[in-house]
Amino acid sequence: MLLLHHIPLHNSMPEKIQPAVFETTIREMLDSSRLLRKAYFFHDIRVICQTNHPTILAILDEMLGMFAPPRQVRGELSYYVLCYESGGIFPVRLPHTRRRVDTIRLLTNTQLKHYASMDNTTEYQSYRELRPINGNALSVMSRMEPVALTQLEMPEAYQGTFLRRYVFLLALGQVLGQFGFEPCHAATITAPGNCRQGALIIGASGSGKTTLSLSCALQGYGLLGDDLVMLCESRDDEEIEAYTITHEVSVRSHTLMLLKNLSFLRDYPVDQRDKRFLSIEQVRAGAARFQTSVRLLLFPSLTAENTSRARLLSKADTLRMLIDMCMSTGNNAFYAQEKLFHLLSRLAEQASGYQLEIARDTNDGPRLIQSLFAGESHD
């Protein structure tokens, strides 16, 4: 097993990293020839990963191994994941002078602090230790180069799901923004028999988006994800398209009570939030999709009514709900918020928005959404 503190460190990371020399600084800090290296893809972006621990490659294989090499590679990013015996010996530290962007508590109850360098060229994601879920971690992402570095304690200090969903995907997501990708917390489905007709199901935790998207997948719809996708402008026709991030979905007990076809999951291990993790293909063979054009924007809420209903939204109301659901209230950089607002504005013009009232104890959502794809009117 390779451990980085056995690899010669030529020098530590300087307090201030000059723009456009981020990766050069990392390479000068360590002997890259001793690292394990593997190339992956995220859609049409090549991802070159380097690590000092073989377990990291196994986790990245689960995350990125589903993406086949594209016909044409649009760009390349570098991702370094380095493991140490303890967080106290991470060679790259938070700079003494920095700007705090946001502090959030993840669904695992782990505290995550976002920082930026004073010149806004570098971002930092700092994770506080919370055993047995995670050890200390620090990710550093350049805003000037497609390069990210994640420093971890040894892999056994983390749950595998935590590393995939809350560390690796967040770091890669930040860098992928340089290629036009923007993360969106939404379940995403495609119409039965037409993978180019897609719908974003956007709502807060508990709004029913996972149950609704999985029930659609069971009834012939395609599924990109139940919680998080990437949005990006198509190079062909300038439409906003949705791209899968992971084909892993999570299911809570109340979803199993409604979706009898998933009863086989009752004996699956659950985390502290009553979530069972599985692949989309386990939900229904052939349901997984990678990319779609967004035609519908659906905002669900649960209701005590006996029948699910849809109400067409004006373009202005659709944009307002997109902003409420998708734009953080944290102190993010103005240029990032401006870029996201522009994307959401175009999305509201491109797709029809509907407010869905989903009957809590019925499974008529897929039929209702099929009528929306078919263009049937709803008041």
Check pLDDT > 90 for residue 361.
Answer: no
DSSP character for 134?
Answer: B
Inter-axis angle of helices 315-326 and 334-350, to 10 degrees? 140
Helices marked H in 295-333: 315-326
* pLDDT given at position 14: 54
Ordered DSSP codes for 136-164: -EEEEEESSSSEEEEEEE-GGGS-HHHII
Tokens of 326: 């998708």
Instruction: Please name every residue paired with 194 in a beta bridge, in sequence order, or none if there are none.
Output: 191
Tokens of 36: 């394990």
* pLDDT given at position 99: 94
CA–CA separation, 6 and 357 (whole Å): 58
Check pLDDT > 50 for residue 4.
Answer: no
Average pLDDT over residues 147-163: 95
Name the residue among 88, 202, 98 with its Cα closest to residue 140: 98
How many beta carbons lie within 10 A of that of residue 8, not counting itself?
Answer: 9
* pLDDT given at position 339: 83
Check pLDDT > 80 for residue 279.
Answer: yes
What backbone phi and psi angles, to 5 degrees, belong to 137? -155, 150
pLDDT single digits (tens) 322-351: 999 887 544 445 456 788 888 999 999 999
Q: Is the dihedral of CA 313, 317, 319, 321 positive or negative?
A: negative
The angle at the Cα of 351, spanning 348 to 352, to the nearest 5 degrees, equals 95
* Local confidence band at 7 (pLDDT 50, 70, 90 cut-offs): very low
Average pLDDT over residues 182-201: 96
CA–CA separation, 179 and 172 (whole Å): 11
Instruction: Please name every residue paired with 5 in a beta bridge, in sequence order, or none if there are none.
Output: none
3-state secondary structure of 1: coil
* pLDDT given at position 204: 86
Of all residues in the chain, the percent with pLDDT exceeding 70 is 91
* pLDDT given at position 64: 96
More confident site: 327 or 98: 98
CA–CA separation, 293 and 280 (whole Å): 19
Average pLDDT over residues 250-279: 89
* pLDDT given at position 18: 57
Check pLDDT > 90 for residue 235.
Answer: no
* pLDDT given at position 21: 75
CA–CA separation, 142 and 271 (whole Å): 33
Name the residue among 335, 333, 374, 378 with its Cα closest to residue 354: 378
CA–CA separation, 285 and 283 (whole Å): 7
Q: Of the given ranges (50-59, 114-123, 144-153, 263-272), which has the lowest mean pLDDT? A: 263-272
CA–CA separation, 89 and 151 (whole Å): 10
Check pLDDT > 90 for residue 376.
Answer: no
Residue 210 half-sphere exposure toward CB, CA atoms < 13 A: 22
Mean pLDDT of the chain: 89
- Long-range CB pairs of 205-209 (<8 Å, 24+ gap) are 205/107, 206/302, 207/300, 207/301, 207/302, 208/300, 208/301, 208/302, 208/358, 208/360, 209/300
Check pLDDT > 70 for residue 12.
Answer: no
Average pLDDT over residues 279-287: 96
* pLDDT given at position 240: 95
